[in-house]
Amino acid sequence: MYGSDADDGGGGEPTVEEAGTGGTTGHPSVVDTASLDTVVHGAAAETPTVRRATLKNEDRVERPNRVASILVAVGAGPHSGATVDVAKRLAEATDAWLELFHVTPGESATDATNPPPDGQALLTAARERVAEFERADRFLVEGESAAAAIAEQSAYYDLVVVGATTTGTVGRFVFGCTTDAVVDDAAVPVVVVESDEPTPLL
């Protein structure tokens, strides 16, 4: 399910001042660019596993003044748990849906000496990490490039959350060069998350 489709369009929306308060209206919060940055910094400050969360591409807001859906890049990197944690906090603050998204490398991108992590296991671990948060779906795709798949899907969401750059073959596939490429190519703003300590999902 594309997260943006989760908006049923009914009823009034909270004001900008209410964004970030974790309201329970069931409708997307109204968030302008300045307050989105404030919500991101607030979410990072309230999430113990997060060292910092940086908002990129503020000028790429597709649907002004609202966050209804968040695409979360789920991988095996050291920032993966913190990425899920801060995405959950952002969703709580804006009444948004979360899409836990993992890209499994295609056969030609797979290194036999360093096999990729089990995508379903990663998504299950991410879903368990946000267990009490009900507005979350899982989405597994196969692709030659994680960055290209995330960027392509970004058009269906209001915000993308990814882990910071990391090292290692698998880490680079999911979060390394991928992070920079997603920031460059995503259709919407991107939040880049760095964990305080390693927080791998598996």
Assigned domain for 5 exists:
no
Domain contains 6: no
pLDDT of residue 107: 67
State the CATH number of the domain containing residue 182.
3.40.50.620
CB atoms inside a 10 Å sphere around CB 44: 24
Note whether residue 21 is domain-resident: no
Per-residue confidence at 173, pLDDT binned at 50, 70, 90? very low
Q: How confident is the model at residue 64 (pLDDT cuts 50, 70, 90)?
A: low
CB 160, CB 154: distance < 8 Å: yes
pLDDT of residue 106: 73
Q: How confident is the model at residue 144 (pLDDT cuts 50, 70, 90)?
A: confident
For the chain, how many structural domains are there in total?
1
Mean pLDDT computed over every residue of the chain? 81
Q: Is the pLDDT confidence value at 11 over 80? A: no
In a domain, 16, yes or no: no
Q: Which of 25-39, 46-60, 88-102, 115-129 is predicted with the least confidence, judged by mean pLDDT?
A: 25-39
Assess if residue 179 is contained within a domain: yes
Domain membership of residue 11 (yes or no) is no
Say whether pLDDT at 79 is over 50.
Answer: yes
The 3-state DSSP class for residue 122 equals: helix
The confidence score (pLDDT) of residue 35 equals 84
CA 164 to CA 78: how far, in whole Å? 9
For the cut 60, the answer to whether the pLDDT of residue 190 exceeds it is yes
In a domain, 94, yes or no: yes
The confidence score (pLDDT) of residue 65 equals 66
Residue 103: the pLDDT is 94
For residue 71, what are the contacts with CB-CB under 8 A and spacing of at least 6? 3, 99, 101, 150, 153, 154, 156, 157, 159, 160, 161
Is the residue at 200 inside a domain? no
Q: Is the pLDDT of residue 119 over 80?
A: yes
Look up the domain containing 72 and give its range: 26-195
pTM greater than the 0.85 cutoff: no
Rank 10-14, 24-28, 114-118, 134-138 by mean pLDDT and report only the highest: 134-138
143 vs 34, more confident: 143
